[in-house]
Amino acid sequence: MEIKTKFNLNQKVSIIALGYDNKCIPCSTCDGKGGIYVKKKDFFSCSSCLGSGHHYKSVKNKWSITVTSIIGKISVDIYSKEALEDNYSSNKNRIVYMLDSTGVGSGSFYYEEHIFKTIKEAKKECDLRNSKII
């Protein structure tokens, strides 16, 4: 079996990722007050927001370049036909990269669809993906 990778060991690459922000939303149960007063003196905390008056919701932010570094490890995940057809599995045949700056062996994994040869290519892809975010 011959496996061809898009990138090579010791090659400098740029990684992009979709960022998320936490948006603070007033609690709809207590109207953002954190609870209610009974007979204008006894305060009872809202059980929905635990008295904070708000909830946090994670919302998509934008694609951006997160790191530019050197490839330190390349791994290949190849599964049997049965493992790929398993409806409860997230198995995928793919090539996995690790970077020197984020840890080789115990750091972050990166997939080819998020890796680019140059910062210019990575920026162009970020702009394209950000134009599609609703």
Angle (CA) 8-10-13 rounded to 5° is 75
Domain count, the chain: 2
Query: Is the pLDDT at 36 greater than 70, yes or no?
Result: yes
pTM to 2 decimal places: 0.65
**Mean per-residue pLDDT for 117-121?**
96
- Beta-carbon-side half-sphere exposure of residue 83 (alpha carbons within 13 Å): 8
Q: 110-111 and 12-26: which strand pairing? A: unpaired
Whether residue 4 lies inside any domain: the answer is: no
Over residues 116-129, the mean pLDDT reads: 95
Q: State yes or no: pLDDT of 134 exceeds 70.
A: no
Domain that holds residue 101: 12-19+62-131
Q: Do residues 34 and 53 make contact, with C-beta atoms less than 8 angstroms apart? A: yes
Q: Does one domain contain both 98 and 116?
A: yes
